[in-house]
């Protein structure tokens, strides 16, 4: 079937479905799950096709995590993308400054779009972080709706250490997501590594697990709890919170009123009220 072909077509991601939970794992363990252009493209292809995928598969929650010892060590500096950017500084390059800028501008936007596809996905996404979460990794997790880490997690907005400004979302999203702006500036300006306590203060994670075993228990327990709720309502909550973050309050209030003018006519309300009154569990259809 087409949807199964999609789930098995990614070289850099392992994708499985169990109990309405889609688990997406970085599988480049030999390179510490570093992210090359193929990883970014695989993420885009998966998340931008999620609406199509969920027409056939009943997916209620998505978990992103890394196989092996780390979540991700960040951008693969040996990738074709990184090497091509470095080559632009070659004195023998025939491109002028304007054309070099055009190439870099579009390349950065492409990477931004790959991560934004996670944020735009209508399904709640949980990041499960252990080990390294560096550079591109810390740009990715604010695109998720919830992030939980193990106490062995190490983070860094490390782009400054390679002479560049972090440019694929961390600075914008962490700031917008009620992050600690002063702390974000300090960490971005220094590129220093930081652990779970600072990650909590910064607002990039919402909970911490003792170890990787505890992390898996916490993440899947949360995913199962969310999966029991209406997928339509979950989409609405995610949509409204993200919209409210980026827009004035009056516009967000109008949007939720418009949304609920449809939602309150759906079967969810009747099923939910009946479940509360009868002390049973409501069973919601997939979108």
pTM of the shown model = 0.93
**Stretch(es) of the chain classified as CATH 3.90.226.10:** 2-227
More confident residue, 99 or 147: 147
Bridge pairing between strands 125-129 and 61-66: parallel
- Contact of 183 with 200, CB cutoff 8 Å: no
CATH number of 2-227: 3.90.226.10
pLDDT of residue 1: 38
Superfamily of domain 231-278, CATH level 4: Lyase 2-enoyl-coa Hydratase, Chain  A, domain 2 (1.10.12.10)
pLDDT of residue 2: 45
Q: Is the pLDDT of residue 84 over 90?
A: no
272: which 2 tokens?
Answer: 């939910």
> Which tens digits make up the pLDDT trace of 134-158?
999 999 999 999 999 999 999 999 9
pLDDT of residue 4: 57
Output b/e per residue, 51-89; b: 16+ Cβ within 10 A. eebbeebebbbbbbbbeeebbbbbbbeebebbeebeeee
**Stretch(es) of the chain classified as CATH 1.10.12.10:** 231-278
SS3 27: coil
What's the average model confidence in pLDDT over 49-59?
Answer: 92
237: which 2 tokens?
Answer: 């909550």
> Which tens digits make up the pLDDT trace of 196-250?
999 999 999 999 999 999 999 999 999 999 999 999 999 999 999 999 999 999 9
pLDDT of residue 9: 81
116: which 2 tokens?
Answer: 């934004």
């Amino acid at each position: 079937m087409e949807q199964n072909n999609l789930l098995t077509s990614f070289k850099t991601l392992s994708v499985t479905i169990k109990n309405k939970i889609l688990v997406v794992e970085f599988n480049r363990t030999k390179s510490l799950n570093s992210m090359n252009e193929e990883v970014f493209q695989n993420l885009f292809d998966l998340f931008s096709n999620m609406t199509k995928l969920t027409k056939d598969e009943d997916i209620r929650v998505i978990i992103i995590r890394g196989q092996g010892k780390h979540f991700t060590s960040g951008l693969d500096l040996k990738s074709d993308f990184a090497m091509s950017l470095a080559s632009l500084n070659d004195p023998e390059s025939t491109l002028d400054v304007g054309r070099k800028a055009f190439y870099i501008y579009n390349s950065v936007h492409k990477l931004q779009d790959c991560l934004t596809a996670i944020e735009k996905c209508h399904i709640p996404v949980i990041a499960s972080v252990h080990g390294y979460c560096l550079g591109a990794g810390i740009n990715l997790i604010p695109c998720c709706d919830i992030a939980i880490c193990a106490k062995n997690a190490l983070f860094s907005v490390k782009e400054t250490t390679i002479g560049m400004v972090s440019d694929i979302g961390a600075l914008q999203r962490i700031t917008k997501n009620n992050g600690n702006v002063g702390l974000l500036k300090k960490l971005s300006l220094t590129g220093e590594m930081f652990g779970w306590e600072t990650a909590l203060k910064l607002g990039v994670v919402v909970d911490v697990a003792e170890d990787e075993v505890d992390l898996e228990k916490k993440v899947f327990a949360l995913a199962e709890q969310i999966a029991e709720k209406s997928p339509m309502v979950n989409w609405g909550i995610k949509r409204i919170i993200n919209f409210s973050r980026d827009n004035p309050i009056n516009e967000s209030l109008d949007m939720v009123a418009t949304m609920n003018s449809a939602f309150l006519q759906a079967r969810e309300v009747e099923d939910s009220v009946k479940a509360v009154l009868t002390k049973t569990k409501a069973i919601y259809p997939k979108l």
